[in-house]
Amino acid sequence: DLQVTLDAGSCSSRVSFNVPEAHTQGIEFELTRQFTDQLFFSLTGSIIEAEFDSTVVDGDGAVLGGVEDGNRLASVPEESFAIAFTYDLAQPLFSSNSTYFQGSYQYVGDRITQPSDQVAGAGTFTSGLAFGGANRRRDN
């Protein structure tokens, strides 16, 4: 069983539900290469599939908060990658044993914060004010 926390209506309270089945599978890799005595290169990444394998419904049969077979698990990016270079100076600075410069770049794919973010209309907010103030639409 997987516990999932969902919003309890329009208030800020949360409710936890047990989801009978879910899965996470994927690959991770890391490649490091030394180009010269002083220059190192590293590439890492992952591709992950994390989904519900069952659906949780309320008493009327409606899906609760996006917990539906095939929907993504929250907080799990489908892909992430990083690249880094390290250059070790031949002459260390400041009387140290070693001095190096390092630079890196990281990419992390999109994530959802809760299962209901996958439900049609997620991110739409209507204030109900006569002048339409505070309405918003967040594009997913």
Is residue 15 a part of any domain in this protein? no
Apex 95 CA angle, 94 and 97, nearest 5: 115
What is the tally of structural domains in the chain?
1
Domain that includes residue 88, residue range: 22-137
Is 112 among the domain residues?
A: yes
Residue with tokens 């659906």: 55
Distance of CA 100 to the CA centre of its chain: 32
CA distance 140 to 137: 9
Could you report the per-residue pLDDT of 63-108, keeping only the tens digit for each? 888 899 999 999 999 999 999 999 999 888 988 888 999 999 999 9
- Specify if 8 maps to a domain: no
In a domain, 130, yes or no: yes
DSSP symbol at 118: G
Q: Within a domain: residue 12?
A: no
Question: Residue 57 falls within a domain, yes or no?
Answer: yes
The model's pTM: 0.69
